[in-house]
Amino acid sequence: MDKNSFFWKIVDGKAPVPPCAKTLGLGFVDIDGERGTIETRFEAVGIFLNPAGNVQGGFLAAMLDDTMGTALSATLDAGQFAPTVNLNVQFHRPAVLGPLKGLGRVVLRGREMCHGSAELWQNDKVVATATGTFVIRKI
């Protein structure tokens, strides 16, 4: 974990939030870079809705990816980035307009390959879960 990495610069307000994360309304509630865990928050807005009036699954998948990815990013050194190479999502119930809570963790962190997991909650119920594989690269 390096507090000079791009992730910690974003958290400290020294670098902008990426546009995709800003679109999702990403915010950080609790970060433990030593343990590789994170609690995030998102805001589901009207443009996220499908014809049934629920949040379209791709937005939920992006929220889960951002939750796992930021848990891992909190552990990286300056000059490192960890893109997602595999994302597996399970949808449990519909999500609606409003806030969502993400809980993510690094399950396994190797020198290059890493695995993570995340849950997305709304109104005290799990709406979706995911696992992912990430590869650490130099920027």
Which pLDDT belongs to residue 1?
Answer: 74
Determine what percent of the chain is predicted with pLDDT higher than 90: 96
Q: Is residue 2's pLDDT more than 90?
A: no
CATH top-level class of 6-12+22-138: alpha beta
104-128 per-position pLDDT tens digit: 999 999 999 999 999 999 999 999 9
Which pLDDT belongs to residue 71?
Answer: 97
Report the alpha-carbon angle 22-23-29, nearest 5. Answer: 50
Task: Tell me if 118 sits within 8 A of 103, measured CB to CB.
Answer: yes
19-31 per-position pLDDT tens digit: 999 999 999 999 9
Domain boundaries, given as residue ranges, for the chain: 6-12+22-138
Mean pLDDT of the chain: 96
User: What is the pTM for the complete model shown?
Assistant: 0.95
Q: Is residue 139's pLDDT more than 90?
A: no
Three-class SS of the chain: CCCCCHHHHHHCCCCCCCHHHHHHCCEEEEEECCCCEEEEEEEECHHHECCCCCECHHHHHHHHHHHHHHHHHCCCCCCEECCEEEEEEEECCCCCCEEEEEEEEEEEECCCEEEEEEEEEECCEEEEEEEEEEECEEC
- Its sign, for the CA torsion 65, 71, 74, 76, is negative
Which pLDDT belongs to residue 19?
Answer: 94
Q: Is residue 44's pLDDT more than 90?
A: yes
